[in-house]
């Protein structure tokens, strides 16, 4: 998901309101298709929509086909491309081709499955919805680890089984409301993260320095526990102060966060490693810390350091630690 949306939730609500509904999912793309595989559009039986499968190019045609599918109670696989006259009529003339799977709720996608999906999403539980024209539909939490890590929905090798990945939104916890954080927060938002700043020093973590952002003045270990640590969360430690960084770091090393980065020189990091060992943490746990933080791009100044940090977060998220 590009951002946390309410598309499955909206489809379920329309279905329960008696409007009937369908979910349309981009299952394959070629060329310059404007939406990634896994993008969804909810359609009600009265023609209401939420979401997008093409950024506006083919939505009108998909809605018409979806209403027919709802009436017939059958799934349909649609294909639009530059060689398709229907696609030209609705504006897809940019060299892209997409396939869209339309599944009416109730008759094709069981209501209980959709409810289970919405419950998982609300609880920040990563799940995969397994589907296809001739495939038993189900929701699973395991078995597609690479797809979960890369946020990559798609067909399996059989060309029939489609796996739609529903990961929780990405989150970034920053301990230390310093200059680097002022650059990193807006960059992270653009990249799809929901940032949280933790710093008990109110002169640093102020509304004036971080307008409109979520800021906690708690002690860092209390803050990260309250916010929660999971495999869709990154933790960045920027204070240089062990009294602030270490309590949050210990919490993170005992969690499933996908990224942990700590500011400081090689010498500073060596001292950090010794402190973590003294706390009883294993070598494997300590090896998860990226320190000095960020990719080595020769960064100079807070903004460039923020770029290096975000780049390293992305590398770990998409390629693994």
Instruction: Give all domains of the chain, ordered by start, each with its CATH number.
Output: 7-166 (no CATH), 170-319 (3.40.50.720)
User: How confident is the prediction for the chain on average, in pLDDT?
Assistant: 90
Q: Establish how many alpha carbons lie within 13 A of residue 105's alpha carbon, considering only the half-sphere containing its beta carbon.
A: 29
Q: pLDDT at position 72, please?
A: 97
Residue 238 pLDDT > 90:
yes
Measure Cα distances from 107 to 111, 136, 274 in Å: 9, 13, 60
Bridging pattern class, strands 233-237 and 138-140: unpaired
pLDDT tens per residue across span 200-223: 999 998 989 999 999 999 999 999
pTM of the full predicted structure? 0.74
Q: What is the DSSP string of 29-67?
A: EETT-SS-TT-EEEEETTS-EEE-SSTTSSHHHHHHHHH
Contact (CB, 8 A) for 143 and 126: no
Rounded Cα–Cα distance for residues 215 and 198 (Å): 6
Over residues 62-70, the mean pLDDT reads 96
pLDDT tens per residue across span 103-121: 999 999 999 999 999 999 9
H-run or E-run covering 198: strand 193-198
H-run or E-run covering 77: strand 76-80
Rounded Cα–Cα distance for residues 312 and 24 (Å): 34
* Backbone conformation region of residue 61, classed left if phi is above 0, alpha if psi is from -120 to 50, else beta: alpha
Residue 195 pLDDT > 60:
yes
pLDDT tens per residue across span 47-64: 999 998 876 678 889 999
- Note every long-range contact of 62-68, with CB atoms under 8 Å and residues 24 or more positions apart, other chains counting: 62/24, 62/100, 62/102, 65/102, 66/22, 66/24, 66/102, 66/104, 67/43
Rounded Cα–Cα distance for residues 22 and 64 (Å): 11
pLDDT tens per residue across span 2-55: 445 889 999 999 999 999 999 999 999 876 666 789 999 999 999 999 998 876
Sign of CA dihedral 27, 33, 39, 42: negative
Contact (CB, 8 A) for 53 and 98: yes
């Amino acid at each position: 998901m590009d951002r946390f949306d309410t598309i499955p939730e909206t489809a379920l609500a329309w279905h329960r309101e008696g409007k009937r509904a369908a979910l349309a999912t981009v299952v394959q793309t070629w060329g310059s298709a404007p939406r990634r595989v896994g993008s969804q559009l909810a359609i009600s039986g009265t023609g209401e929509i939420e979401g997008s499968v093409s950024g506006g190019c083919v939505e009108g045609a998909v809605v018409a086909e979806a209403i027919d599918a709802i009436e017939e109670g059958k799934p349909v696989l649609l294909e639009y491309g530059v060689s398709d006259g229907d696609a030209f009529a609705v504006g897809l003339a940019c060299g892209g081709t997409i396939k869209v799977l339309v599944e009416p709720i109730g008759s094709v996608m069981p209501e209980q499955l959709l409810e289970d999906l919405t419950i998982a999403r609300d609880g920040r539980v990563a799940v995969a919805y397994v589907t296809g024209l001739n495939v038993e539909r189900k929701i699973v939490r395991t078995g597609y680890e690479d797809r979960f890590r890369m946020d990559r929905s798609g067909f399996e090798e059989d060309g029939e089984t489609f796996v739609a990945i529903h990961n929780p939104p990405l989150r970034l916890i920053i301990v230390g409301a310093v200059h680097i954080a002022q650059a990193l927060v807006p960059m992270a938002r653009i990249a799809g993260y929901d940032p949280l700043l933790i710093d008990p020093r109110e002169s640093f973590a102020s509304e004036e320095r971080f307008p409109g952002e979520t800021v906690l003045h708690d002690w860092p270990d209390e803050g990260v526990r309250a916010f929660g640590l999971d495999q869709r969360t990154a933790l960045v430690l920027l204070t240089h102060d062990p009294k602030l960084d270490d309590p949050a770091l210990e919490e993170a090393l005992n969690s499933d966060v996908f990224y942990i980065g700590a500011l400081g020189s090689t010498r500073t990091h060596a001292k950090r490693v010794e402190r973590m060992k003294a706390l009883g943490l294993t070598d494997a746990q300590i090896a998860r810390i990226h320190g000095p933080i960020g990719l080595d791009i020769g960064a100079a100044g807070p903004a460039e350091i923020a770029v290096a940090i975000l780049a390293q977060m992305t590398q770990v998220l998409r390629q693994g630690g």
